[in-house]
Amino acid sequence: MLAILFSSITYAAILSIGCASITLLYASTRTFNFAHASMVSWGFYMVFILYKFFGYIPYTYIPIAALTTAAIGVVVYILVIRRLINIGASEITLMMVTLGVDLILFASLNMVVDVLKRGFGIDATKINIILADPIVMRIWGTPIKYIHIVSIVAALTIVIALHLFLTRTNLGIAMRASIENPTLASILGIDINIVYTLAWFIGGLLAGLSGGLLVLFMEGTTTIGFDIVVFYFAGSIVGGLYSIYGGLLGGALVGVSERFLTFLLSYWIPDIIAYRFAVPMVMLVTTLLIYPRGLAGLVRRV
């Protein structure tokens, strides 16, 4: 019981970090980022690769992995998204383009795995470094690992840091202004381009962070981001896509509902464990049919 509670909270924290990334990118550049899947996979694999080469503690490599995906995000923005926004592409076109970017990133990650196998003899087709994470303490016999603490602390830190950034710094206020009204913001002398580049930097950073934390939580292959990206989407959509806090909250809801809610429901309906993946999806669809703009449609804030 307690173990499931801890793991579901951890999972929820990891998901909500990724959901904040999707929400931020959608709110700022109107791009629903399908490349998120491969960005998570890249974060996932970067931590694993660095850990295999240098050993030591996996957590030290999470910032490096996050910076890598942040760089990927910036490159994607500069090469692809900026031009499309400049020619006034529709939301669906932007979605399609990030889907293409996703396929490219996925293919290149598979190439990296091949190179690892041929050049260094490291079999990275299925990776599992959960055991590298030591147990910190036990509460009533339930082991608590570092990941349980680190991911929750990371999620809370991100909430606070983003809040401070968006409300206290000039750049953050400029970002909120350009999210609200890009034309007016550029008239007031805000360089929209820099703000958007920064948004993609933060978006990539959060995606990579989410993937990097995930590697210590579950095993996976290169399709890890692809497999669970639906939950990221569900979380950000439930949150409403307009407010970053909504994204964080939505991710937490989806994570908890997938693990903890199904666990509680299994007392009454034993078969539901098998349909675990469908539970958050059903929740998403019901939420959207009741509030077509997500939960943030209730309280509109950025």
Give the whole-angstrom CA distance, residue 62 versus residue 207: 11
Query: Are the CB atoms for 46 and 184 separated by under 8 Å?
Result: no
Give the whole-angstrom CA distance, residue 9 versus residue 202: 23
Smallest separation (angstroms) from other proteins to the CB of 89: 11
Smallest separation (angstroms) from other proteins to the CB of 12: 18
Termini Cα distance of the chain: 36
284 binds other proteins (CB under 8 A): yes
292 binds other proteins (CB under 8 A): yes
Q: Give, as ranges, the residues between 113 and 132 that touch other proteins (CB under 8 A).
A: none
Smallest separation (angstroms) from other proteins to the CB of 136: 34
CB atoms within 10 A of CB 19: 35
274 binds other proteins (CB under 8 A): yes
What DSSP state is assigned to residue 142?
Answer: E
89, 178, 297, 37 alpha-carbon torsion, rounded to 10°: 60
Q: Give, as ranges, the residues between 63 and 92 that touch other proteins (CB under 8 A).
A: 91-92
Give the whole-angstrom CA distance, residue 204 versus residue 68: 8
Spell 65-91 as b/e; 16+ CB within 10 A means b. Answer: bbbbbbebbbebbeebbbebbeeebee
237 binds other proteins (CB under 8 A): yes
285 binds other proteins (CB under 8 A): yes
Which of 7, 11, 14, 26 touches other proteins by CB under 8 A? 26
Which of 6, 11, 32, 217 touches other proteins by CB under 8 A? 32
Of residues 150 and 230, the one with the C-beta less far from other proteins: 230
Which of 156, 278, 298, 299 touches other proteins by CB under 8 A? 278
Of residues 31 and 68, the one with the C-beta less far from other proteins: 31
35 binds other proteins (CB under 8 A): no
Give the whole-angstrom CA distance, residue 16 versus residue 98: 21
Q: Which stretch binds other proteins (CB under 8 A): 7-15, 109-117, 172-180, 230-238?
A: 230-238
Picking from 24, 250, 275, 4, the residue whose alpha carbon sits closest to that of residue 148 is 4
Of residues 31 and 151, the one with the C-beta less far from other proteins: 31
Binding site for other proteins (CB under 8 A): 26, 32, 91-92, 95-97, 99-100, 102-103, 223, 226, 230, 233-234, 237, 241, 274-275, 277-278, 281-282, 284-285, 288-289, 292-294
